[in-house]
Amino acid sequence: MKAFKIILLSLFALVIIIPLIAVIFTTFKSTTEVFANILGVPESFRFDNYVSIFVDQPMARYFMNSVIVTLFSVTFTIFFASLIAYAITRMFGWIGVVFFSLFTLGMMVPAQVNMIPLYQLVFDLGLTNSLLGLILVNISVTMPVAIFIMSGFMKSIPKTLFEAARIDGASEWKMYRKIAIPLSIPSIAATSIFLFVMHWNDLLYPLLFITKNEYKTLPLALLEFQGEYATNYPMLFTGVLIASAPMVLAYLFLQRYFIEGVTAGAVKG
């Protein structure tokens, strides 16, 4: 069993590490080298691509835009969605089910289909080419996923805790703050990671709403390395790696809360 576990874990690790190495190597190569041998060690580890990606375009600007959009989108999605998830879990009877279904439905609509009506709406509201517009749409679109995940976890909080608090005269707001949220930290952390990745990599909405350079986000900027017939893979991957760095940080930061979640559970038990 132990051997099986080690083999399985290492195999999957390899399946991730090998392509990852290929990506890292690619950033040090010329296009010619890439096609000669995708896995080969680069001739030299020069940082030309890393330098030119910052020199040739306002990367810092794109980076800032992405950071702003992602931070606001994640924060508010989590805040609004946790409120809704709490309300849904606490609601009695069919009303909770109705709201749950209404929000869950949001995950099931293919984005391609409401994008034309959505564009019209955002344009009419004067929110194209503005980060605020992007953030508002992001929140609305990812809220269903967040509600779905968080309400799943909040349901497993023992009902007796709420009842006891109620007898002590606690308001819903107080129970949300003092019971639901503290006990949901691990699932909030997990949901946040999901949202971070989704908002950070999102291409569809920036593509639709942003056309001015000053409001472009990173994924939109990376598109310029893709040509009609030829794609500049070394530059594209350099961009991808630079772009993924903040996500690695976000992951490492949020992972702490998984650990805290465990210890909290242990103390309680």
Please say which residue, 125 or 164, places its beta carbon nearer to another protein. 125
- DSSP letters of 87-130? HHHH--HHHHHHHHHHHHHHHHS-HHHHHHHHHHHHHHTT-TT-
List CB contacts of 27: < 8 A, sequence separation 6 or more: 49, 50, 234, 237, 238, 241
For residue 23, which of 222, 252, 233, 225 has the smallest C-alpha distance? Answer: 233
Q: To the nearest whole angstrom, how small is the minimum distance from the Cβ of residue 92 to another protein?
A: 5
For residue 103, which of 46, 63, 146 has the smallest C-alpha distance? Answer: 146
**Rounded-to-5 percentages of helix, strand, coil across the chain:** 80, 0, 20
Q: Among 59, 67, 127, 170, which residue sits at the site for another protein (rule: CB under 8 A)?
A: 127
Is residue 84 close enough to count as binding another protein by CB under 8 A? yes
Is residue 17 close enough to count as binding another protein by CB under 8 A? yes
Is residue 268 close enough to count as binding another protein by CB under 8 A? yes
Is residue 195 close enough to count as binding another protein by CB under 8 A? no
Is residue 223 close enough to count as binding another protein by CB under 8 A? yes
Instruction: Give the distance, in angstroms, between the CA of residue 42 and the centroid of all CA atoms in the same chain.
Output: 32
Is residue 25 close enough to count as binding another protein by CB under 8 A? no
Is residue 155 close enough to count as binding another protein by CB under 8 A? yes
Please say which residue, 28 or 103, places its beta carbon nearer to another protein. 103
Q: Among 75, 161, 165, 170, which residue sits at the site for another protein (rule: CB under 8 A)?
A: 75
Is residue 50 close enough to count as binding another protein by CB under 8 A? no
Please say which residue, 53 or 131, places its beta carbon nearer to another protein. 131
Is residue 233 close enough to count as binding another protein by CB under 8 A? yes
Please say which residue, 50 or 90, places its beta carbon nearer to another protein. 90
Give me the phi and psi of 155, to 5 degrees please. Answer: -60, -30
